[in-house]
Each structure stands twice: as structure tokens, then as C-alpha cells.
A and B are shown apart, each in its own frame.
Chain A
């Protein structure tokens, strides 16, 4: 049984069918990437998994239990943490407080949560900046803060929405390295939406391609980049 199973979900916004009967299964310990052009329905699919939107049809289950229609906080308490495409740190709070709040989900003692936050901040190269306000950070730092805060809730599955978009190649590689470490060391399962193929190719063990709300291909990353339908709709001929 897969850790996350999405069964034929659909979501319609007025006339537009944003996600049209999409299914996917993420294995425990895997890194699963969803790619596709803008407007393909990636973020909508993601929001349905995270509980931010309810699917019109279909079902989602996590660790064998249905989570369809649960609120975002309930989904998080089940062990799914997410980041936002447009980062949403708590702006007027310190970097450390941001992550501490995440760590308080499963800890009632603030000191213990702070300790956990500091460990994460070291890992994400933010320890030196822990007393700065989150709003004072640069975009790359805020992206790392977003991931650190999500990880502080101790998820079994981490949902990352374009977490390297807008980063320079060196910063992208650093993020990729941190995520690989987490996946290897603690067996963290990751589901990510990404445009940056450099990151997708380095990270993903499996890739799903969405186009106009439907899945047009799924498989290992090496196979996906050679798939004619994917090249046609998304990557463009020069990518091959």
C-alpha cells in the first residue's frame, strides 16, 4: 500500500476543469514530482491533498486512512506538511519563532520546541539569522525558512510547492542537497511541484506530468524527459 493515494480526483472552478480525474500514488520514502505547464492544475491538486480545497470527485487517503475533505490543520496533524508557492512566513516574528511554532504541533513545551527549531535552522543555514524578523530575509532564505517550518511539524510526507523557483543555481543545488539528505537519513517522503527540471531530475524517483488538468505521463524521470507527449506539451523540443 502506498503512503499517499489519490484516486480519480477532479476539481472544477465554474466552467474550468482544473483537475480532471487524476490519480497518483506516492510510495513511502519516495520523492515524487508533479510537473507541467502553468495552469496545468498542479497547485490545485496539491491544495486538495493539503486540505486547502475539497475535491468535487474522487478520494485521497494517507497511510491507509481517508483524508478527503479534512481541514488543512487536520491534514497537518495527520503528518502532511506543506509549503506555499508564494512563501508565507509569519512576517513580524523572528526566524526562530517561525520554526518554533511549527515544532509546537507535537510538543507542548516551548523550550523543547525551540531546541528542535534550532536544530532545523542549523540544517537550513539560518541559525545565524534566527533572531531576525522573517520579513527581513531574502527570498532564498524565506524559501528555506518555509521548508524548515514545515519540517518542524515532523511530517511523514512533505509537500513542496515550487520550492526552488526563483533561486540561483547554487541555491537550488543547496536546497536539493538538503532535501536529499532528509530523504536519505530520515526516510522522509516528498511530493513536489517543480518547474526547475534541474531539481526534478536530481531529486525525483517518480514524475507525473499534468497538462490541462489531466495526467499525460507518469514514470521515472529519465523516461519522462523522452516521452514525446511531454516534450510536445511542456519541455519543448530543445530539452531532449
Chain B
């Protein structure tokens, strides 16, 4: 971390400090609703970052990341409901289970040469299998879902992740910040460069001695485990899990928009993307109802149009452009 700070330009340091101060201080000025939107932004920044590691850096397209959110959520919730194991501890088995699924998908895909969109289809298939399983298994509560009840006497038990908006906001902030630091560290590590090589050209990566299979497996396992942490957060924040919701492909898509719009394979892209998309999505809900387009799906149409405009204007993402505008890049050439 110290190395990272040293390598950041003065402008970059100032900006990071300002943003952190604003985010840490936000609960003192923001109302409950704003805080809930901020929490959602940070959650999407976090899971987006997890997906970004796999797609943006290692170049492996997953369209089934809702699988890992759901697995994390279910493992965390079941451990708490059945055995009273709190999420701070339950998050580790949750990561392990998701990593196991990630490893299985990765092994199938990478061992048998299933690449690109075909690999993406495999990831969707696994999310669907798991949804069907959770819909029908007894211990997951079936289609009726799983509820983490609100218990008034437990409010304030932060060690069990039981608390109000404030607690979840700070946990989300912690997760998002940790994900940014982890990504920054990985991006400048040996593994990070190996991922880039694999993303760019697998044959050429092999020719410089990179074990492509291993590099891709590490990417999917790490990304799955990270996403599962977001799943545990999700389960305890919302207090309910429905298979048809959490494993839905819509959830997988929702989760990858922030890194795509913000800038794939960049450290701050997913964060910038989340800060742009989530509030706009919220705003659209308000606007469409105010303007009388109160039809179901109206929000989705405007959201889709907006995405098209952004991607048309900034095809490589907002962050690379923003970094140039703010002159945050190192003085090169």
C-alpha cells in the first residue's frame, strides 16, 4: 500500500484524500435515502471491481457473476440462520464455496478450450443450474426464499452485521476501498501482468512462459471469492434471498455495467461507473414517474438509451478519459 501511495502523483493523492473524506463524512450530512443510494453505489463498485479483475485484466468474460453473489448470500445466511455463525466468520466459507464453483467453471472452460462467448454461456448455465437447485432444495428454503429476520434486540450488534443504514454504509465503503487497493496491487504485480498478457494474446503469453491455464484459474477463483463477499453483504443488508432474483441473469448484467461504462481493466473504472450509473438509475425512477411514463420498463428503456450514449461517446470507458482531463496520468512522453 505504501508503494502505491508513493507511485501516485500529487494530484492523484489529493483527489483520493478528498473523495475518502467526503465518503467517510457523508453520513453526517446525508439523509437516509441518500445514504442508501451511496451504499448501493459502493456495493456495485465492489462487485464490479471483482468482475473487472476477471474480465478487465484477465480477459475472461463471465455473464453469470450473480452465481457468486447468490452463493455468498446463501452460505452466509444459512450459516447464520442454522448455526448462529455470524457473517464476519461466515464470509470465509462463503468465499470458499464460491471459489469452488468458480474453479469448477474455470476448469471446464479452460481445460476444454471453451473460449470467449462460449465460456460466457457456460457461466450463465451454472448460474441457472444453481438457481434451479435453490428453487427446489429444502434447506435453502426453496422458491419461497430465505429471510434473515429483523430482530430489534440485535440492532447494534455490528459483530453480527446487524444494524442500521449507517453500519451497512461503512461496511460497503470498506469493501469498495479494499477492492480498489487490492486491484491496484494486483495490477502492478507479476500476476497482473500475466493476466494482461493472457487477455491480449494467449498464444503469445504461452510463448513467454506463462502458464495460461493457471493464470485464468487464479482470476476466476479470486473474482468468485471476492464477489461472494458482496453476496454476504447483500443477504444481510436486504435480509432476504429469492433464487429467482439473486441468480437472475439480469443481476449478472447489472453487476458488469459499472466496470464496462467506467473503464475495463482500470483500477478506478468500476468505481466511476458505479458513481455514474447507480444515481442515474435512481433518478430515472423518480423522473419517469414524475413525467407520467409510469409504465413498467420505462426506466429500463431510458437506462438503455443512456448506456448507448455513454458507450458511444466513451467506448473505452469514462475513467481513461477522466484521468486525462484531470491530468492524473504520470508524465509520459
Contacts of A77 in B (CB 8 A): 209
For A163-192 the 0/1 string (1 means CB < 8 A from B) is 000000000000000000000000000000
Say whether B197 contacts A90, CB under 8 Å.
yes
Say whether B207 contacts A81, CB under 8 Å.
yes
Q: What residue of chain A has the Cβ atom nearest to residue B201's Cβ?
A: A88
Give which listed residue, A76, A108, A113, contacts B207 with CB less than 8 A: A76
Give the Cβ gap from B332 to chain A, nearest Cβ, in Å. 5
Give which listed residue, A92, A108, A110, A153, contacts B208 with CB less than 8 A: A153
Give the Cβ gap from B13 to chain A, nearest Cβ, in Å. 20
Q: What residue of chain B has the Cβ atom nearest to residue A149's Cβ?
A: B208
Say whether B333 contacts A93, CB under 8 Å.
no
Say whether A101 contacts B193, CB under 8 Å.
yes
Say whether A104 contacts B190, CB under 8 Å.
yes
Say whether B207 contacts A101, CB under 8 Å.
no
Say whether B208 contacts A152, CB under 8 Å.
yes
Number of contact residues on B: which range applies?
Answer: 20 to 34
Say whether A72 contacts B188, CB under 8 Å.
no
Complex CA–CA separation, A55 to B165 (angstroms):
64
Say whether B200 contacts A90, CB under 8 Å.
yes
Which label, helix, strand, loop or mixed, suits the secondary structure of the B interface? Answer: helix
Complex CA–CA separation, A101 to B207 (angstroms):
11
Give the Cβ gap from B202 to chain A, nearest Cβ, in Å. 10
Contact residues, A114-163 vs B (CB, 8 A):
131-132, 149-150, 152-153
Complex CA–CA separation, A113 to B209 (angstroms):
14
Say whether B203 contacts A71, CB under 8 Å.
no
For A96-118 the 0/1 string (1 means CB < 8 A from B) is 01001110110110100100000
User: What is the number of residues of chain A that contact chain B, defined by CB distance less than 8 Å?
Assistant: 32
Q: Does B194 touch A at the CB level, under 8 Å?
A: yes
Say whether A76 contacts B206, CB under 8 Å.
yes
Contacts of A73 in B (CB 8 A): 205-207, 209-212
Say whether A105 contacts B209, CB under 8 Å.
yes
Q: Does A236 touch B at the CB level, under 8 Å?
A: no
Contacts of A91 in B (CB 8 A): 200-201
Give the Cβ gap from A63 to chain B, nearest Cβ, in Å. 16
For B28-53 the 0/1 string (1 means CB < 8 A from A) is 00000000000000000000000000
Give which listed residue, A52, A81, A110, A153, contacts B193 with CB less than 8 A: A110
Residues of A within 8 A of B (CB): 50, 52, 71-73, 76-77, 81-82, 84, 88-93, 97, 100-102, 104-105, 107-108, 110, 113, 131-132, 149-150, 152-153
Sample of 27 A–B contacts (CB below 8 Å): A52-B203, A72-B206, A72-B207, A73-B206, A73-B209, A76-B206, A81-B207, A81-B208, A82-B207, A84-B207, A88-B204, A90-B201, A90-B204, A92-B200, A93-B200, A97-B196, A100-B193, A101-B205, A101-B210, A102-B208, A104-B193, A105-B208, A105-B209, A110-B190, A131-B333, A149-B208, A153-B208
